[in-house]
């Protein structure tokens, strides 16, 4: 018997179950499609973010390598630092987590360059090994006090034989600087007249445990530069020729 249009008999249980099953299937398919779209959107956003971070990291590393060995633009120490020091070191240097002096790494490097737009000076008096203070000369037209050097500045001492060492300026009193040694090895003595150059030291290191590329300034700042880095490999090219300058003292090796 057919139902009439105004019939009050309703739907049977089987009909209700079939309708519910169809509705649930449609809803499940819609949710699955929505989840796929959301995953694809997240993957695309993560890919774009990764590319942007990789591009920014590449720009930082490229700039560091291009500026490696840049020297003071004025003053008695005006020259490229590459004439006196290795501007690219195959290891991490500084107070924390520094590699050994004779260690050659393929997953870390350090770049040293003179700080741009900074004054530089020379030592007024000799500096013994392990000294905690340096006195600068007021000659040469550098700005007072302390040739413009301030607390927090990284400082490089360099002599004519190619011996160098790095320090952090912790306090300034006139032309006297209170410093903290930044090297892993004990500091060495420097003669009066040795250049005192404001520098920027930047170490790029891969932390394999966290897969993070880090940027370290040799003192207190050790910041993540990029995460999710699988590997870092460095190659160095050069000639096996000893340096011609600076000239070492008689009887000393020139490498």
pLDDT top residue among 242 and 38: 38
Instruction: Give the pLDDT score at 205.
Output: 93
Per-residue pLDDT averaged across 147-155, rounded? 85
pLDDT top residue among 91 and 145: 91
Give the tens place of pLDDT for each residue, 108-121: 999 999 887 777 88
Q: How confident is the model at residue 193 (pLDDT cuts 50, 70, 90)?
A: confident
Cα Rg of the chain (Å, integer)? 32
CA 201 to chain centroid, in Å, comes to 8
Give the tens place of pLDDT for each residue, 58-88: 999 999 988 888 877 666 666 677 777 888 9
| pLDDT of 26 above 80 | yes
Give the tens place of pLDDT for each residue, 89-138: 999 998 888 898 888 999 999 999 988 777 788 888 999 988 889 998 87
Instruction: Give the pLDDT score at 42.
Output: 77
Q: How confident is the model at residue 255 (pLDDT cuts 50, 70, 90)?
A: low
Instruction: Give the pLDDT score at 1.
Output: 45
CB 222 within 8 A of CB 210: no
Instruction: Give the pLDDT score at 109.
Output: 94
Looking at the chain, the whole-number percentage of residues with pLDDT higher than 90 is 20
Instruction: Give the pLDDT score at 206.
Output: 92
Burial 111-122 (b: 16+ CB within 10 A, else e): bbbbbeebbbbb
CB 188 within 8 A of CB 165: yes
Instruction: Give the pLDDT score at 91.
Output: 93
Q: How confident is the model at residue 253 (pLDDT cuts 50, 70, 90)?
A: low
Three-state secondary structure of the chain: CCCCCCCCCCCCHHHHHHHHHHHHHHHHHHHHHHHHHHHHHHHHHHHHHHHHHHHHHHHHHHHHHHHCCCCCCCCCCCCCHHHCCCCEECCCCCCCCCCCCCCCCCCEEEEEEECCCCCCEEECCCECCCCCEEEECCCCCCCCCHHHCCCCCEEEEECCCCCEEEEEEEEEECCEEEEEECCCCCCCCECCCCEEEEEEEEEEEEECCCCEEEEECCCCCEEEEEECCCCCCCCCCCCCCCCCCCCCCCCCCCC
Instruction: Give the pLDDT score at 69.
Output: 84
Q: Which residues pair with 222 in a beta bridge?
A: 216
Instruction: Give the pLDDT score at 228.
Output: 86
């Amino acid at each position: 018997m057919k139902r009439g249009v105004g019939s009050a008999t309703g739907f049977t249980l089987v009909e209700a179950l079939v309708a519910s099953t169809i509705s649930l299937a449609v809803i499940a398919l819609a949710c699955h499609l929505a989840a796929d779209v959301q995953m694809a959107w997240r993957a695309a956003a993560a890919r774009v973010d990764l590319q942007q971070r990789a591009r920014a990291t590449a720009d930082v590393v490229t700039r560091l390598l291009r500026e490696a060995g840049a020297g003071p633009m004025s003053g008695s120490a005006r020259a490229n630092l590459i004439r006196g020091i290795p501007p690219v070191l195959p290891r991490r240097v500084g107070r924390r987590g520094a590699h050994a002096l004779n260690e050659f790494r393929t997953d870390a490097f350090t770049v040293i360059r003179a700080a741009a737009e900074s004054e530089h000076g020379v030592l007024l008096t000799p500096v013994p090994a392990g000294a905690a203070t340096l006195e600068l000369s007021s000659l040469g037209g550098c700005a007072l006090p302390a040739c413009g050097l301030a607390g927090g500045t990284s400082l490089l001492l360099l002599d004519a034989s190619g011996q160098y060492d790095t320090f952090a300026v912790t306090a300034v009193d006139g032309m006297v600087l209170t410093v903290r040694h930044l090297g892993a090895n004990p500091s060495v003595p420097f003669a009066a007249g040795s250049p005192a150059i404001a520098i920027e030291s930047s170490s790029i290191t891969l932390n394999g445990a966290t897969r993070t590329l880090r940027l370290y300034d040799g003192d207190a700042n050790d910041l993540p530069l990029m995460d999710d880095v699988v590997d870092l490999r460095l190659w160095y090219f050069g000639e096996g020729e000893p340096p011609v300058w600076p000239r070492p003292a008689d009887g000393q090796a020139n490498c």
